[in-house]
Amino acid sequence: MKLSNLRSRTIALLMLIASVILYCVDYLILGKGTDIFSGFLGNLAFLPIYVLFVTLILERVLKERERLAKRQKLNMVIGVFFSEVGTGLIQTLTDFLPTPEELSSRMQITPQWTTGDFRAGIVFLDSHDLQVDSRHGDLSFLKMFLLARRDFLLRLLENPNLLEHDEFTELLWAVFHLMEELAARESFSGLPASDLEHLSGDTKRAAVHLLREWVIYMKHLKKDYPYLFSLAVRMNPMNPEAKAVVY
C-alpha cells in the first residue's frame, strides 16, 4: 500500500513538473503571459467535464471487466457441474422419455453448429412439450445417482457466484428437489399412479432445465474453449453411440 502511494505521488509530481515546463516553454516562445493565463483558465473551466467523461468511461470499463470475470467464474462452476453431474444425469433422464427420438435428433450438436443452430435448439426446448414417464426408467438408479452427489450439489447451492444466474440456480433447485422426492421414498414398487405422475412432473422439470442449460453451456464451450467443446461433442449424452475416441 505504501509503495503504491509513493508511486502515485511520484507520478503526480512528474506530471506537475511537466506541465510547468510546458507553460514556461510556451511563455518563452510566445511571450504572452495573458494569453497563457487565459488558456489556463479555459482548460481549468473544462476540467470537471474532462474528469466526468473519464470517470464514466473508466467506470463502464471496470464494470464490464468485473462482469466478464464473474461470468468466467460462473462458467467454470457450470462446467464442473456438467462434468460431475449434468452429463451423466442427462443420460439417465433420457431413459424416462417414452419417445426420445425427436429430442435426440435435435440435440445432435456437431462442430459445425453456428450461433443460429444453438439458438434454434433453445427455442425448440422452450416450445417442445417434453414427455416424461417415471415408470419408463429406473427410479432406484436415479435416486442412487443423485444421492451420491448430494454434497456436491449442496456446495454448488452455497456458491455466491450462482446468485447472479437465475436460470442455473433454478436448474439446481429442480435437481435438488427431484433428489429429495426420490430420497423420501424407500421403495418405488407399488406406488399409486398419482404418485408416479407426481414424480414424472418433478423429473420433467429437472430434465427441461438441464437440457436448456446444457445447450447454453455447449455454446459457451464452442466460443471460448474449442478443445473442451470437441470432447463434449464426442461425449454427447443425447447420442447413445457417443465415444471419446477420435477416428
Is 244 contained in some domain? no
pTM: 0.74
pLDDT level of residue 69 (50, 70, 90 thresholds): confident
Place of cell 463434449: 232
Look at residue 46 in the predicted model and tell me its pLDDT.
64
Task: Give the SS3 label for residue 86.
Answer: helix
- Indicate whether 57 and 96 sit together in one domain: no
Is 184 contained in some domain? yes
- Indicate whether 39 and 81 sit together in one domain: no
Is 113 contained in some domain? yes
Q: Which three cell numbers mark 230? A: 470437441
Of 44, 61, 78, which closes a domain? 61
Of 11-15, 34-38, 205-209, where does mean pLDDT reach its minimum? 34-38
Look at residue 52 in the predicted model and tell me its pLDDT.
73
Query: Domain range for residue 55?
Result: 2-61
- Indicate whether 14 and 98 sit together in one domain: no
Number of domains forming the structure of the chain: 2
Burial of 182 (0-12, 13-18, 19+ CB in 10 A): buried
- Indicate whether 189 and 98 sit together in one domain: yes
- Indicate whether 204 and 89 sit together in one domain: yes
- Indicate whether 91 and 211 sit together in one domain: yes
Is 179 contained in some domain? yes
Of 30-34, 45-49, 207-211, where does mean pLDDT reach its minimum? 30-34
Q: Which three cell numbers mark 221? A: 464451450
Of 15-19, 197-201, 223-227, where does mean pLDDT reach its minimum? 15-19
Q: Which of 60-74, 104-118, 157-171 has the highest mean pLDDT?
A: 104-118
Indicate the DSSP class of residue 163. G
